[in-house]
Amino acid sequence: MTTPAIQQHLSTPEGFAKSVAARRPIQGAALACLALGIGGIAMNLFQLGSASDWDWSLMMRFFWDAQAIEFTGSRSGRAEAWRYAYVYGPIVLLPLGLILLGIHLATRSKSAAGLYEAYRERGWVGRQWAVGLTVPNGNAKVAIAFVSHPSVPDAAFEAAGHRYAAYLDSLDKKARKAATTAAVKAGVLTGVSAAALLPDLDPAILAAPLQPKGDFVVVVPPAAGGKGATQVLPIRE
């Protein structure tokens, strides 16, 4: 698809909602709580079942009893608090996950409408260009791309991508590591002007994590004077 075709597709709230979804921390927290809660409860039941020859009356009796847990081997010295975390943690996490998931589902439509309005006011459709830079984010490695801006002609955008890729290739191992560290400090993981990575690049070009699912992304910067990071979101084609 071309940029004008994508813009036309995203011009209505319905088309935008089908193709673009904001990342919501509450959704990730809900799924994490549910996964840990279900996994923890299943593991506790399995251990109790194995120890009681699957006598469900004994299993239910000791399921709520933290004193029934005994750590052995390398875990034998764990504090008393671990017993309660091991037994009651999953029981707390499961309903917490359900509550968070309910909040996410209840507010999803309002959040989507707000994102659409923000896109209409100050966002744009940009093209991604992987430039060969990979930066650490915790234990993961994140590929960085340049994202075009409507004010930058396609030829100039592509030239900027080639220029930065050539700049990286010219660096030795030590200098490349320094460039990677500088990019992270500049804020490339949340989106930053490409000029922060190489001063003579067009400042309208954005440097941000490469998004999956296609060559085009939706860019929504924060409101003028507002807090928050620039959102770079994949488009489901």
Asked if the model's pLDDT at residue 103 lies above 90, the reply is no
Quote the CA–CA distance of 103 and 109 in Å, as a whole number. 11
Cross-strand partners of 128: 147
pLDDT of the residue at 78: 53
Could you tell me the residue ranges of all domains in the chain? 25-116, 123-234
**pTM, entire model:** 0.68
Give the strands of the sheet with 206-209, arranged side by side: 192-193, 206-209, 140-147, 124-137, 216-220, 231-234
Quote the CA–CA distance of 45 and 68 in Å, as a whole number. 12
Residue type for position 140: A
Q: What angle do CA 31, 35, 40 make, to 5 degrees?
A: 150
Per-residue confidence band for 181, with pLDDT thresholds at 50, 70 and 90: very high
Structure tokens at 175: 């200098």
> Which whole-number Å values give the CA distances from 222 to 11, 39, 206, 226, in the listed order?
20, 38, 14, 6
Between the CA atoms of 48, 52, 56 and 61, what dihedral angle is there, to the nearest 10 degrees? -70
Q: Mean pLDDT throughout 179-202?
A: 94
Q: Mean pLDDT throughout 33-39?
A: 91
Q: Mean pLDDT throughout 168-186?
A: 95
* DSSP category for residue 198: S
Quote the CA–CA distance of 65 and 91 in Å, as a whole number. 12
Structure tokens at 15: 């088309």
* Residue 216 near residue 2 (C-beta atoms within 8 A): no
Asked if the model's pLDDT at residue 14 lies above 80, the reply is yes
Residue 187 backbone zone (phi > 0: left; psi -120 to 50: alpha; other: beta): left
The fraction of the chain above a pLDDT of 90, given in percent, is: 46
Lowest mean pLDDT among 37-41, 106-110, 174-178: 106-110
Per-residue confidence band for 199, with pLDDT thresholds at 50, 70 and 90: very high
Contacts of 167 (CB under 8 A, 6+ apart): 198
* Residue 189 near residue 205 (C-beta atoms within 8 A): no
Q: Average model confidence (pLDDT) for the chain?
A: 85
Q: Mean pLDDT throughout 164-187?
A: 95
Asked if the model's pLDDT at residue 75 lies above 60, the reply is no
Which is more confidently placed, 173 or 229?
A: 173
Per-residue confidence band for 198, with pLDDT thresholds at 50, 70 and 90: very high
The helix/strand/coil state of 113 is helix
Asked if the model's pLDDT at residue 40 lies above 90, the reply is no
Per-residue confidence band for 164, with pLDDT thresholds at 50, 70 and 90: very high
